[in-house]
Amino acid sequence: IAFLEECHPDAELAPRDVVSRAIYRRMIATHARFVSLDMSSLSSPSIRFPALAKICREFGIDIETETIPVRPAVHYLVGGIKSNLHGQTSIQGLFAVGECASTGFHGANRMGSNSLLEGLVHGRICGKNISKYATAERRWLSPVLENVQPQIDAELNLNDMTYSLKSLMWSEVGIQRSAAGLEEAHELLKDWESYLSRLAPFTPQGIEVLNMVQVAQAIARCAAYRTESRGAHYRDDYPQSSEDWKVHTCVRADAQQFVITSEANKWAAPKTA
């Protein structure tokens, strides 16, 4: 049964956040793990989409005659480490570029293929600046590892912790958010951070999982702070966008707590008379 026509005039060609929410709600309503994409009405879909056809064939699906099981997934992070147009962060000598950087280029909802342009243009600019900095500065900075202690005698399954973290973020900080779900996520993440800080092994995986939990806390706090819906950030308790929230939100860890501030949108379109 086609359902996207009921959600947006452009149906399957609607913005990705609209389509993702529609699929997500459909899956919940039907208790299904996916919805089906039917391409049989298109002329020669295998020729028009050869890469997709190849992948589907590997899973035994013929897109000419069969439907394709699809579901939303995390695809791109439009936020990230705050940096300027030269890639410089608030830490001297630390540069951020690409998906890990928050340049503000994409706003709240990235347009298709814009990340490629960002990588090409911003990557070139940052590469030049990093080269200049590295040539002028010969100091090596020692890594700062706070809170992580050598593992004591305790069973800690990092793979299980990673899976639990991803599951929590998907269910409470994912496509559809609410104050109750974000608060539940915050409380769990706070407990997990305390647990990992005491018991995580002093290994790359141990430090990485702890960092993932800390970043997840920052995302959950920012999502709770922004009491509106905008682009990929959708709250069912605040489903509309607000003019008051045409700002960038920034979060930083300060004395074991997160401090959130708002900044003017530097890419805002000029007002017309």
Q: Which residues are catalytic?
A: 16
CA distance 110 to 108: 7
All residues at 6 or more sequence positions from 186 whose CB lies less than 8 Å from its CB, including other chains: 217, 220, 221, 224
Runs of H (alpha helix) within 110-178: 114-136, 158-172
Structure tokens at 261: 């501030």
Pairing mode, if any, of strands 101-102 and 81-82?
A: parallel
Identity at 228, one-letter amino acid code: E
Across 193-209, b (16+ Cβ under 10 Å) vs e yields beebeebbbeeeebbeb
CA distance 255 to 262: 19
CA distance 99 to 111: 14
Runs of H (alpha helix) within 174-258: 179-199, 204-225
* H-run or E-run covering 23: helix 16-30
